[in-house]
Structure 1
Amino acid sequence: MTSINITFNSQQVQVQTGTSLREFVSTQIGKELDAESKAVDGSKLGVAAAVNGGVIPRSAWNATVLENGHSVELVTAAQGG
């Protein structure tokens, strides 16, 4: 299968063509996500994802397919302030 280049949190990475944002996030956080992008184990994710500077609602992660040149940012929520 062919791969594409994306920028992930300011680092160049390669992913397989056709990779959804849900699949990518799942790999990055090490948790299996269902079709609605919720953790299969029922735990809270505590992350937000943006593609090309726009936040993607979790409900759209499965339908968002990464393309060559996309910039993906994954932000983890932190308690405190």
Structure 2
Amino acid sequence: MITFNFNGEMVETQPQSIEQLVKERIGSAEGVAVAVGGAVVPRSQWNRDIQSGDVVDVLTAVQGG
């Protein structure tokens, strides 16, 4: 098990990649940006595993007016 901060909430889960996390927690990767430790992670690197202690921020774009 790993423990990390996800959007301000501590999460404990099995080891997984950023891509798996987005699919599990957000559903769709469309309009999504991910930062780990304050650094934006390009989608091409989402196969990177999340480590215990990481601070992961996932932002989604929304339309409105």
Same fold (TM over 0.5): yes
TM-score (norm 2): 0.89
SS at match of 2:58: strand
Alignment match of 1:15 (pick from 10, 13, 16) = 13
Q: Percent identity of the aligned residues?
A: 45
CA–CA separation in structure 2 for the residues paired with 1:21 and 1:30: 12
Gaps of 5+ in 1: 32-38, 40-44
Distance 1:28 1:20 in 2: 12
Higher normalized contact order (CA 8 Å, seq sep 6+, divided by chain length) = 2
State the superposition RMSD in angstroms. Answer: 1.5
Unmatched runs of 5 consecutive residues or more in structure 2? none
Q: How many angstroms does 1:29 deviate by?
A: 1.4
Alignment-derived partner of residue 6 in structure 1: 4
How many aligned positions are there?
Answer: 65
